[in-house]
Each structure stands twice: as structure tokens, then as C-alpha cells.
Chains A and B, each alone.
Chain A
Amino acid sequence: MKSKLQEIASFAYDCVKEVVEVKDKDLKEKYYSHARELPSMIVHNGLLTTCAFIRSKKNDEAWKKIEEHIKRYLKEIEIKEKEAEGKQVDSLVKFFSGLDLKGYRLYTRKVLYFAQWLKRVAEGELKYEEQAE
């Protein structure tokens, strides 16, 4: 049985792995730098602002990828059973702004935790890529 921590870590690993396998070098570089700034962004700007920021960067494939990964994380790890209660995560902005203050703080912590793993794994996996070239 996997612990919660292992679950999140391996999920983050799968997400980054997906990027590693992409051929587009530009995307990889951008994903790497965005994944690195994501946690500090959440701490500094708040979760909702960060998501709004990501939405405003919709021309940037790497940000899109990160948004997709957060969505998937929420769907697959965090709110499996809650989706039955009518909570949809098709839109991060709508999902987060619909929460009450308590829930918002809880999800901030959860997403932040995931973002930190994403950063760690990206630093390991994608940095290695860069050096190998």
C-alpha cells in the first residue's frame, strides 16, 4: 500500500515524465522554469490569483500543461469521491472561487504540496535532460 506522500510524489513523477517524453525542447525548458516558480507563486499570490494568471497565459503550452496537471491531480488524488457531490474541476478558477474560506485554505495547502513535488521532480528530471544535451 502506498502512503499519501508516495501517491502524490509518484503522481508528480508521472506528470513530469509526460513532459520529458515530449520532443519539443522549448516546451520542456518552459515547463521546467514554470514548475519551479509555481510554489512561490501560490504562496505569494494566493491560489486563485495563480490560477487566473495561468489562464491568462493560455498561449503558453507549458502553462497549459501545468494547469492540466493540477486539474488531474485534483480529480485523481484529492476529490475522487467528492465529484459525486457535484464538484467539477473543469475550471480551476470556478472550482476554487466556489469554495468557502476553510475549503480554500485546505485546497491551497493541497495544491501547494503537489506543486512542491512537481518542482522537485522537474528539477531532477528536466535538469538532467538539459545537461545531457
Chain B
Amino acid sequence: MKSRLNSFSELPAGFKRQLSELLSKAKSPHIGLVFYKVLVSKFTEDELEKGLKAEEFARKLESTLRELENYSLETPKLPCKKSFELKTAYRLAIGMGYPSLLENGFLFHHTYGIPYIPGETLKGLTRHVLLLSIYEGIKEKLASTQEPLNYLDKYLSSKEEEFSKNSLTETLDRTEISIILSDYKIRKPHRVFRRIFGTQEKRGEVIFLDAFPKKFNPQDLELDIMNPHYAGYYTEKGKNPPGDWESPVPIKFLTLKKGTTFIFCLDYEPLGEEEPELLEHAYNLLRVGLENLGVGGKKAKGYGWFEA
């Protein structure tokens, strides 16, 4: 660390040159910083002034990633009650909504600079699986309600008072539902739901930790491409017909390669009771979600799915 600080003061004047100097000196730079903030320093001022095409930026990103040394970061074993590993069945595109010069962003951990899947994403996914399963189990009961899924969602996290008054509670108390896309079954699913994910009054009893790749190497990042052929048709909201005379528009975006192993961790909420059954439920639900629904962007195209 000390040597880096020394070299910092020896840097030439001008912020952009300082940045690029720093990048060339660092042995294992923070990829998130490189991607979002530092890469721009690899271009001359005139190039930037003229206006950078996303394409040029992508090319520079590719060559910079290749230049980086083959360093491998390993996630240490995390102390948690339940952890398991799954690997990506296809590329993972997460955090595409963040702004970047490439048009599409990518999620890097703020401190460690490696790709990861945030805990809240995993919790949301798990919650969605259970919500859909409960809905499937009592579909007939909800047939007369408008927006049944929304209704069910509100009911499940409502305050204790409203919850016990609702007629659904009694029905669900007698029900065992099977989880969608699996053989797993849960009894009294509404009570499990409230305990795992929490309600308006009480926080959930299971913690979903961020999932990190078991090993990460800058070479694991791959540039992918989407190529809309009928840009005019989409941007003008259907005013123009989708015609084959339009040119395709290649758009590059960053992904994590197929076959990256992630470590997922679940634990109990520190002040709650430790009930193994709850953790087991959460684990099974999360697995169903990861293997069948996926995380991140472009899920319909198969991105972000996991396999054992």
C-alpha cells in the first residue's frame, strides 16, 4: 500500500494522466473503477472532445481487460449457517441499468470491484417463488379478486391484526402447497412466508447474503452483443413498419462468462429464533428461483440462469 501512495505523489500533473498512470502501475486494479471511471483516461482529450462512440469504448475495454494480469481472486469461506454453490448455466448480465459509456452498465462490488449478486436480489427472487407458489395453490379462492397477485402480496406482508382477520389465513392454515417447478412442499406457507421475509411490523428471520463468485479473474468478463434489426420500428413506437431495409445496430454489453461458480449464503437474523426448518425452506425456494427464473438482465434469453 505504501509504495502505491508514494507513486501517487510522483504522478504527473493533470488528473487524466494521473489516472492512466495509476492504472498502469496497479497489479490488480478494481475492475469496476476501470470500467466506469478510469478507462476514459486511455483516450486523448481530442478523441473525447470529438465524441466517443460506444464501439470504440468497447474495443478499448476489451483490450484493457486482456492486458490485465491474470490475477485470480478467491472468495474466502464465509461463516454462515447454510451455504451452497451453483454455477451459471449461461452468461450473467447484471446491473445493466447503470449508466455507462457502453450504454449498458454492469454491477461491480463497490469495495472489492468484482461482480456479485446483491442479497436483496436473492431475497426478492426467493420471495417471488413462494408468492407464485401460494398463488398457484389457492388460485380458485382468489378468482374473484382484481389483481390477485398484488392482493396476495399485500395480504402476506400486512400487519398481524389484518392478517388474522382475513379469511385466507384460515384456508391457508389447512393447506400444503407444492412449490412451482419442483417437488418441494410447504405446509402453512403463509406463516413461513411471513417468518422468512418479514411483515410490515417485523423483519424477516432469514438473512440473504450477497453472492460472490468463488473465483474471479478479469478474463472471465466477456463482451456480448445485442443487435436490434428494426431500431426505427421500436423507437418510433410502431409508426414505421419493421422493414428489412433498416441496418442492424450492434450494441455491446458486458457479461460474466458461463460456468462461473457463485457461493450463496443464508443465515438467521441475529435476534431471531434459529429454526432449521426455515433455513431449509429458504434454501429450497432460492434454488428453485435460481435454476428456473434467474437473476439479472435478459433472463428471457437465458442469461442469469444457474445449474448445479
Interface residues in chain A, defined as those with a beta carbon under 8 Å from any beta carbon in chain B: 37, 40-41, 44-46, 48-49, 51-53, 55-58, 91, 93-94, 96-101, 103-104
Cα–Cα distance between A94 and B51 once the two chains are bound (Å): 13
Does A58 lie within 8 Å of B45, measured CB to CB?
A: no
Does A52 lie within 8 Å of B18, measured CB to CB?
A: no
Does B101 lie within 8 Å of A100, measured CB to CB?
A: no
Q: Which residues of A contact B99 (CB under 8 A)?
A: 37, 40-41, 44-45, 53
B49 on the interface (CB 8 Å rule)?
yes
Does B52 lie within 8 Å of A52, measured CB to CB?
A: yes
Given contacts A52-B40, A100-B13, A100-B14, is CB(A45)–CB(B48) below 8 Å?
A: no
Does A101 lie within 8 Å of B36, measured CB to CB?
A: no
- The one of B37, B101, B105 that contacts A56, using a Cβ cutoff of 8 Å: B101
By DSSP majority rule, is chain B's interface helix, strand, loop, or mixed?
helix
Cα–Cα distance between A51 and B13 once the two chains are bound (Å): 20
Cα–Cα distance between A98 and B16 once the two chains are bound (Å): 7
Binary contact track B13-35/A, C-beta < 8 Å → 1, others 0: 11110100000000000000000
Q: Which residues of B contact A93 (CB under 8 A)?
A: 45, 48-49
Cα–Cα distance between A43 and B99 once the two chains are bound (Å): 10
Interface residues in chain B, defined as those with a beta carbon under 8 Å from any beta carbon in chain A: 13-16, 18, 36-37, 39-41, 43, 45, 48-54, 98-101, 105
Extra pairs beyond A45-B100, A49-B36, A49-B101 (16, CB < 8 Å): A44-B99, A48-B16, A48-B40, A48-B41, A51-B48, A52-B40, A56-B54, A96-B15, A97-B15, A98-B14, A98-B15, A99-B14, A100-B13, A100-B18, A101-B18, A104-B15
Residue of B nearest to A101 (CB): B15
Q: Which residues of A contact B18 (CB under 8 A)?
A: 100-101
Given contacts A45-B101, A48-B40, is CB(A55)–CB(B48) below 8 Å?
A: yes
Given contacts A48-B16, A100-B15, A101-B18, is CB(A53)–CB(B101) below 8 Å?
A: yes
- The one of A44, A56, A103 that contacts B51, using a Cβ cutoff of 8 Å: A56
Residue of B nearest to A97 (CB): B16
Residue of B nearest to A104 (CB): B15
Cα–Cα distance between A40 and B39 once the two chains are bound (Å): 19
Given contacts A55-B48, A94-B49, is CB(A49)–CB(B40) below 8 Å?
A: yes
A–B complex contacts, Cβ < 8 Å, 25 sampled = A44-B36, A45-B37, A45-B100, A45-B101, A46-B37, A46-B40, A48-B37, A48-B40, A49-B39, A51-B48, A52-B43, A53-B101, A56-B52, A56-B53, A56-B101, A93-B48, A93-B49, A96-B15, A97-B14, A97-B16, A97-B41, A98-B15, A99-B14, A100-B14, A104-B15
Q: Which residues of A contact B54 (CB under 8 A)?
A: 56
